[in-house]
Structure 1
Amino acid sequence: MPESPGWTLEPKWDGWRCQIHTATRRMWSRHGTDLSSAFSDVADAAAGLPDAVLDGELVAVLTDGSGVAFDRLQTRAGRRRPPRRGADFTVHVALFDVLAVGDTDWRPRPYTERRIELLRLLESSPPTLRAVPTTEDREQALQWVGALVGVEGLVGKRTGAPYAAGLASGWVKWRERHTAEAVVIGVTGATPAAQALVLGRRTGGRMRAVGVSLPLAQPVRLAVAPLLYAAGEEMRELPGTVGGLPGADPVYFWPVKPEVVVEIEVDQPRLEFGRYRHRPRVRRVRGDLSPELVDEGQ
């Protein structure tokens, strides 16, 4: 996490990155998906702002005040009609940059100038459209993580840098990590360097796959390999979504007896749709735990 002068820190929200064109009521995801119809309520709210192109994060805020829910955004995806009534969440946008105002390209200007312009554009914005807070104080930024609902980490940006897309942005992201336990139910990967574990949790008396780990570090691979025993002579198949990749190809793996518990590092403490959204990192073998102690509600 940056600590030197010339950097500012912003909260990293648990949502979908989006670009909003206020004058035309158009919205796009970071992958170019048109979100204008699915999130027409947001597009309509943004239409009340001056003509600009804004960068931000869509966040689903639960109406009962309990927090945010990343999975609720998926219920809007693919809809080609206005949001349905009676939903248990409201979509907000945490805005953090301005790319253009009218016909003027603001991307070459330094971050500090773009920030001032963003605040000006949002002076009379509705409650669902707000600028993210910023600070150059590392301790203050760390207090946002966990204290502000929906904040999963921080983003560091150079105050004098222009806006650039993708990896060229120079942004530094820091995400809070959590640890959990899972049972090893399979192994995948064609080479030692690519080997990963299929992870499971017991639900309703049955062992269910909840994710596929990142490739194992060599010390972890050497520690876990002697403990695993084959549970069949044929490979099995998992849907790509279990690996946290919607639309991905199936994952083929060799099943093993569910006897080994490992400690994993995850960026979300709870499962989504019965699996981890991002691939966990295996930290170590937990020889002190038995599989019966690892369940979905852990």
Structure 2
Amino acid sequence: MKKRRMLLLGASGYLGAQIFHELQQDADNEVVGTCYSAPPTGEQLVQVDVTHPAAFAALLADFAPEIVIWALMSATDEHALITEGLDILQAHLPPKSRVIFISSDGIFGQGTGAFAEEDQPLMLSERNPLARYSRAKWLGEELVRQRREQHVIVRIGPLYGCNSLGKWDKRAATIRQELAAGRPITRTSNLFKTFLHVQDAAQAIKELADSSFVGTLHLGPAQKESYYSFAVTLAKALGLDSRLVTEDRLDAEEAREKGIPLDTSLNTGRANALLRTRFRQVGEAACSAAKETERH
């Protein structure tokens, strides 16, 4: 049986590594994963800069992927990554190939979640340090919609948990480190997000790669969390002292001045109805979090 050729752009990243792991579990897939710098030890990845026309075009021509997953994120210039990389991808990808583009809840700068897929984005104020990043993600969505009939755009909030390489997200890692040392932390109780476990995100993206769904989908559990409730719940799940987590609130006027939306949570009802993947609530991560802590 002919294997499906799948190209995962950004396979060395926190989420990308987990997606790569999930895709490799299916014997029907021929998976090529890419990285920008030298690949992690033991990982068979192709090193390529997607903004380099000759190198990226050669990879696309040689492999001719049927499915491409864009799990890339730039540490310096997301706009250049999107405009240059996506242009090369669209120009050299076979017309019938499918593109899955991973976007962000950061496109909803109005801060009045929970946002549904059809809600109109509002770009973040330039006062927000993530403004350029979120604008680039929205531009990427538009470029994919306009130029690729077979497409899926998934929007996600903050990721957490331990991935297949034993790597934790920075947010959870800091909570673990500080509370384990007996040091108190403060988190904001009126900033809301849809927190998504990295393993659930990867499983959902793999499922979408296997499906015929076309369009936009918000991934994550039904319940939103504040940064404070997330930290308290995760601390309890990891067997740490949640009493060390103290609460503060961001004044609405200060939030407006800094361009910080108070609620970018996502309405995930469509994904929860469509997909087999079950998105765990933060509080449901207790058993898996404890096991992950023991292993890593």
Q: TM-score when scaled to structure 1?
A: 0.27
Structure showing the higher helix proportion among its residues: 2
Structure showing the higher strand proportion among its residues: 1
Q: TM-score when scaled to structure 2?
A: 0.27
Q: Which has the higher contact order (CA 8 A, sep 6+)?
A: 2
| Structure of greater Rg | 1
